[in-house]
Each structure stands twice: as structure tokens, then as C-alpha cells.
Amino acid sequence: MSKNRDDSPLPRLQWPRYGIDAPAFPAVLGAVGTACCLAAGRRRRPGRNAMATAGAVMLANTGVYLHTTLSGKLRIWRRQLDQAGLKGDEQLLDLGCGRGAVLIEAAKRLPTGRAVGVDLWSAQDQNGNRPETTLANAAAAGVADRVDVHTADMTALPFADGSFDVVTSALAIHNIPSFEGRYRAVDEAMRVLRPGGQLLVADFWPMARKYAAHLGQGTLRGLGPGYWYGGPWLGVTLLRAVKER
Ligand SMILES: C[S@@+](CC[C@H](N)C(=O)[O-])C[C@H]1O[C@@H](n2cnc3c(N)ncnc32)[C@H](O)[C@@H]1O
């Protein structure tokens, strides 16, 4: 059995399981959609067509959400990391790594580098969110030797200036309640990047636009239907910025 840094046993998994982002959201949407469809099925109920349509739309949104969180985001991050020009020896930091979807995909591309994740392990933001789960996922993916996780707040990172070649973050910065806190996280990401290092942040499109405006630089690109949390109104945009040399 693989071990974590404290030498306590980690659960052994056959393959990584990355869980569901904000699990209460699809649970409520799916439950309300099902209730609408059932209610519309009762005869002679006024407005049954409208109720059936609303129920079907909510169930379809739930399906799109689950597809994104279980597979769409992984496929998209694989492509982004493949296009990031990694040499394989980089030091990479993933902010709000959760169960490790992006952290571990990055580690697979860093045979002589290191992928470090920080998180506060909120189970509201991702089910089963614990450092042990992330380390067990890294072991299942065969990259435990190059993955570290830290319990840390991304608004106050415990790393020296310029320690990382790449900083990534997937759907995590918007979880900080205030814009002031979100901007602090973006500033911290730039602080720990080395000059010339790159920042890759995926977040809901209005947030990503505000982070770019705050930084005063960066390119923005919509990541498409594979990263819709239910529909285009909760679509995700990638901000890519490079720290000045
Ligand atoms: C929706 S999950 C995304 C997890 C992972 N990046 C992924 O895409 O699968 C958001 C993550 O951000 C973490 N998080 C929220 N606020 C944070 C903070 N201030 N510092 C570090 N992590 C935070 C949560 O605990 C959660 O793991």
C-alpha cells in the first residue's frame, strides 16, 4: 500500500477518481427537474406542458454538468497542458487542486519535474475533498513520486517569490468569496512564478475577464461546451498570462 508523508496508509485505487464539483448544484437541479417531470405526468394538471419542458431542460442541464465535471474538463485540460510547451522538468503549482484532476494530468507531463497542489479541502466545492484522496489518485495514476499537496490558502501562498515555472488553477479562484480575495490569489500566483513563467487559469468567463483586467495582461479563450457547468451561461474561459522577465 502506498503511503503519504505521515506514513499513514492511503486508500488503494485502481484508477483516479476526481469527484464532482459543487455536488449540491447538480443534486438540486436534478431533483427539481425530476419533480417537474413527475408533476407534469399527472393528468389534467394546468400548465403541464410548461412543467414538462422546464423539467426536461433542468435534467438536460444536469447531464451537461455531470459530463463536464466527470470527463469534459479532463479532456480540455489534457489539451491545454499538451499545448503549454512543457519540457518535462518544470516545477508546477496548482491552486485549489482538489482531488487532483489538473495536478495529476500535469504531473504525467513532468517526468523530471514536480507538481505541487494547494487546497483548503472544501467538500462543498468538491465531494470527498481530502489530501489523502489526491495522493491516492496520484498513486493510481503512477505519479505519486512527483506530486506534493499542501494545505494552504491560495490568497497567502507559503512559497518564495519565483519558485514555479507554471501556475495552474481550475474552477477554484471564484470560490474565494470576495473580489479582493480573488485578486490577491491572482497576485500570489504571479509572485510565485519565475520571470517568463506562465499562468493558466480556467474560471467562469466573467471572472476570468476580471482577473485579466486586474493583471493588465493575458489572453482569454472560451473552452467550449465540454466545460459548461450546465449550459453556456456557466461556461469556462482560460486566462493565459506570462510573467514579465
Ligand atoms: C470546484 S473545486 C476544483 C478542484 C480542481 N481544481 C478541479 O478542477 O477538479 C475548487 C477547489 O478550490 C478549493 N479552494 C477554495 N478556496 C480556496 C482557497 N482560498 N485556497 C485554496 N483552495 C481553495 C476548494 O477546496 C476546492 O478543492
Q: 166-225 pLDDT, tens per residue?
A: 999 999 999 999 999 999 999 999 999 999 999 999 999 999 999 999 999 999 999 999
Indicate which residue's Cα is closest to atom 8 of ligand 1.
Answer: 170
Neighbours of 233 (CB within 10 A): 10
Of 17, 68, 119, the one to substitute when testing ligand 1's pocket (max ligand atoms within 8 A of C-beta) is 119
- Using CB distances shorter than 6 Å, the residues near ligand 1 are 18, 21-22, 73, 96-98, 101-102, 118-122, 125-126, 129, 153-155, 170-172, 175-176
If pLDDT is split at 50, 70 and 90, which confidence band does 4 have?
very low
pLDDT score of 1: 32
Sorted by where each begins, the domain ranges of the chain are 87-242
Indicate which residue's Cα is closest to atom 24 of ligand 1.
Answer: 122
pLDDT score of 3: 39
Torsion angle of alpha carbons 152, 156, 159, 162, nearest 10°?
140
154 within 8 A of 95, measured Cβ to Cβ: yes
Looking at the predicted structure, is the pLDDT value of residue 11 above 50? yes
Domain 87-242 matching CATH 3.40.50.150: the answer reads: yes
pLDDT score of 213: 98
pLDDT score of 8: 56
The helix/strand/coil state of 55 is helix
pLDDT tens figures, 66-120:
999 999 999 999 999 999 999 999 999 999 999 999 999 999 999 999 999 999 9
- Residues belonging to the chain: 245
Looking at the predicted structure, is the pLDDT value of residue 13 above 90? no
Smallest Cα–Cα separation from 15: which of 170, 146, 145, 142? 142
Distance in angstroms (rounded) separating the CA atoms of residues 98 and 173: 12
Indicate which residue's Cα is closest to atom 4 of ligand 1.
Answer: 98
Looking at the predicted structure, is the pLDDT value of residue 7 above 80? no
Alpha-carbon distance values, 193 to 32, 116, 180, 199, 221 (Å): 44, 13, 20, 8, 21
Distance in angstroms (rounded) separating the CA atoms of residues 46 and 26: 27
pLDDT tens figures, 105-145:
999 999 999 999 999 999 999 999 999 999 999 999 999 99
Burial 97-123 (b: 16+ CB within 10 A, else e): bbbbbbbbbbbebbeebbbbbbbebee
